[in-house]
Amino acid sequence: MAAFLFTKIKIISINQSINQSKNEHLKYNSDLQKPTIMKTLKLTLVLAITVFSFSCVNAQWNGKKIKGNGKVTTIKRSTSNYDAVKCAGWMDFILVKGTEGNITIEGEENLLDYIITEVNGNTLKIKTENNINLSPSRNKTIKITIPFNDIDEVTLSGSGDVKNMDKIITNNFESKVSGSGDIILEIDAKNIEAGVTGSGDLTLIGTTNNLKASVTGSGDFHGFDLEANDVEAKVTGSGDIEIICNGDLKGRVTGSGDIEYKGNPRKEDTKVTGSGSIGN
């Protein structure tokens, strides 16, 4: 009887050990699977974002393509007055002093009808029609001349170029680049807000009391020819900011970008997070 009980207890103990071993094995396999599951989820998320981004880009360029016919002409457009100019596309935009609303467009004749020039809420918007992909002939472009009397904002979205032939003089001015385009402006203003998002470049030449400049991405803000008193500069990403500061300087860098300054700031408040730098 004692031997039977001992054998039964031993069998129960062995079964418990086997069950414990199975549980530990299952837990071990579960722990091994967790990183794999997480990696799979992350990979799925990345692929989904990639497909979505590709779809957006593909949708953008799947519009009707219009090829330039090589015949260059000039047309005139009339609009109401405006205080701000928003440019979009790959064209060349030129600001000149003159009567607002008398816009000149030069380019291949079969492309010009697809250029929209309209004023909404005191803002002149120039862009191509939706779902239209204009393709100029080799060494050809579209040049749009925009007269201004008193403007306080100039922005560019896309890969085009914006410049002014006559200086802009105003109290408060804002200029921003989104994309890979370039803006070069001569400006005298009490307050200036400048921003770059993407890989574009923004260059300002002139004077200002207060400058607020920001770069997000790999683009650059060039302000070594802009005499500024107080400056607030912020870089997020790998872009760069160049400024002149003779008053209070506040600088922030997050990422690998740089803020380089000239002048003699009377007060400096700077902070860098990442491998970037702030210095003169």
DSSP for 236-249? EES-EEEEE-SSEE
pLDDT for the residue 55: 41
What's the pLDDT score for residue 239? 98
For residue 70, which phi and psi values (nearest 5 degrees)? 85, -10
Residue 63's pLDDT is: 78
Q: At a CB cut-off of 8 Å and minimum separation 6, what does 195 contact?
A: 175, 176, 177, 202, 213, 214, 215, 216
What pLDDT is stored for residue 62 in this prediction?
60
pLDDT(15) > 80: no
> Residue 82's pLDDT is what?
98
**Residue 214 to residue 188: CA distance in whole angstroms:** 19
pLDDT score at 3: 43
- Measured between its terminal Cα atoms, the distance across the chain in Å is 94
Judged by average pLDDT, the poorest of 9-23, 86-100, 151-165, 188-202 is 9-23
CA 211, CA 68: separation in Å to the nearest integer? 42
Quote the percentage of the chain above a pLDDT of 70.
78
Residues 6+ away with beta carbon under 8 Å from 218: 198, 199, 237, 238, 239
Contacts of 270 (CB under 8 A, 6+ apart): 249, 250, 251, 252, 259, 278
pLDDT at 263 over 90: yes
Say if CB 165 and CB 96 are below 8 A apart.
Answer: yes
pLDDT tens-digit readout, 19-71: 554 455 444 444 444 444 333 333 333 333 333 333 433 444 567 999 999 99
What is the reported pLDDT for 260? 98
Work out the mean pLDDT of the chain and round it to a whole number. Answer: 86
What's the mean pLDDT in 135-159? 98
Q: Kindly give the pairing relationship between strand 102-108 and strand 220-237.
A: unpaired
* 86, pLDDT greater than 50: yes
Of 182 and 32, more confident: 182
pLDDT of 14: 43
Q: At 208, list the tokens.
A: 């200002």
Stretch among 6-10, 43-47, 274-278 having the lowest mean pLDDT: 43-47
Measured CA distances, 241 to 182, 184, 234, 268, 269 (Å):
15, 15, 8, 16, 16
